[in-house]
A and B are shown apart, each in its own frame.
Chain A
């Protein structure tokens, strides 16, 4: 009896509610219809065939096969016919290659997968995802155009970096400086090629943004490129991360060519133990120096020092843990997608990209060579033996470059573990490339 009563009441309310809702939707639909009717009166008398053809014109198949003049991309720039059809198809092919390299070959998958997927999305016709109101455009404007995401990444890198090996033998930090010759040497080379040959036509700003690839530091490259040459950002970021992934392929031949077997077999003294206070003060010292010498570099070095200070303070493990895990992961996703938006065909498939890829490789090789040569020089004059191989780790690319040094050393003399000795120049290289970036910013601002 009771049950029936409740059911009846429920039914009553349900009917009531249903009626109210029906009325609401009806009212809404009539107003919508009115406005639609006002604007698209001609739509009503289309035949089925016309509807189908007009739908066909909104498909990807039509957009790929029928490039038109006067089509603009999300940023209001005109896209040529080639870039609308074959260009996009080629770029989608390139993003698939990036996926292959990341998944099958293990090349920097954390970055190449988001960048590649961003590139795939950026090349979809009609969707305009790279525009100001598109998915990728919003991400790009929120954090890359204003150089925000690279700084967050730098903070996380700071929280992950252990300066112990560098503090144990501070002199090796100079090797991290020598490797920055890759940046400035390439700057001169790129300027010469642009001025004296018809191959490239880069401005000095473009040259600076390209040569920063030699610093082998992804976030720094993106930071500088978005400041000095935003149009080249996609190619620069892809080149920087691909070459970082290729460190084990690019560096060993250069290292072997510049050193003798005896030099590669040098065993280095075991490192001293580093006091906790030394590690705690290090970020403050580095930041203090950059405040005094080069305030332009403080956004990068400040973020880095903050991350490292949070780690070494030992009392905010929660924060440092967030910086080196959750936060850096989130920002990596956004940074990758944002950079990927610059892989749109009309931006990437231009003559400049080839120049960037070549100059980036040169910058990387020159940096490695300069580091090794400097280490040879230091070995001549130093009281303690220095294995010249560790100079190659002066390009940042932490910790890949140090691992490569270790492997080359072990190949020559099994049991000669250079990893910790190479970590010193390696982390100094991060500071060195941030300083180099600061110099470039101060020159061009």
Chain B
């Protein structure tokens, strides 16, 4: 080895460069992916949650009404 330091310095530039290029490209692809997925596969669970809640409320109301009706009949 004539000059290990110069050699290792080159490795450092190359290594850090590739690590950053890799991660930077990854970040770009991930941001693009997040946008695409948000556009074409929008998340629905929040809406469906509201719907089920609505249905439940109606059912609860119906059940209460039925019980009340039953009690009224008994009187």
Contacts and interface: CB of A to CB of B under 8 A. Distances in A.
Nearest to A294: B18
A167 B37 CA distance: 12
Interface string B27-47: 101110110011001010000
A176 B23 contact: yes
Nearest to A285: B29
B31 A204 contact: no
A187 B23 contact: no
Given A185-B12, A203-B1, A290 B38 contact: no
Given A170-B30, A281-B33, A285-B30, A177 B9 contact: no
A356 B5 CA distance: 18
Contacts of B24: 174, 177
Given A188-B5, A278-B30, A432 B19 contact: yes
A183 interface: yes
Contact of B21 (A282, A293, A428): A293
A208 B11 CA distance: 10
Contacts of A185: 12
B26 A173 contact: yes
Interface residues of A, number: 44
A337 interface: no
A183 B1 contact: no
B71 to A, nearest CB: 45
A173 B27 contact: yes
Nearest to B20: A177
B25 interface: yes
Interface size range on B against A:
20 to 34
B22 A435 contact: yes
Main secondary structure of the interface of B (DSSP, over half): helix
B52 interface: no
Contacts of B31: 170
A184 B12 contact: yes
Contacts of B1: 195, 203-204
Interface stretch (A263-271, A401-409, A410-418, A436-444): A436-444
A439 B19 contact: yes
Contacts of A194: 4
A45 B38 CA distance: 90
Nearest to A196: B5
B73 interface: no
A183 B16 CA distance: 9
Contacts of B54: none
Given A170-B30, A204-B1, A286-B26, A443 B18 contact: no
B29 to A, nearest CB: 5
Contacts of A436: 15, 19
A37 interface: no
Interface of A: 167, 170-171, 173-174, 176-177, 180-181, 183-185, 187-188, 190-192, 194-196, 203-204, 207-208, 273, 275, 277-278, 281-282, 285-286, 289-290, 293-294, 428, 431-432, 435-436, 439-440, 443
Interface of B: 1, 3-5, 7-9, 11-12, 14-16, 18-27, 29-31, 33-34, 37-38, 41, 43
27 contacts: A167-B30, A170-B34, A173-B30, A174-B20, A174-B24, A177-B16, A184-B12, A185-B12, A192-B5, A192-B8, A196-B5, A204-B7, A275-B34, A275-B38, A275-B41, A278-B34, A281-B33, A285-B30, A286-B26, A289-B25, A293-B22, A294-B22, A428-B23, A431-B22, A431-B23, A435-B19, A436-B19
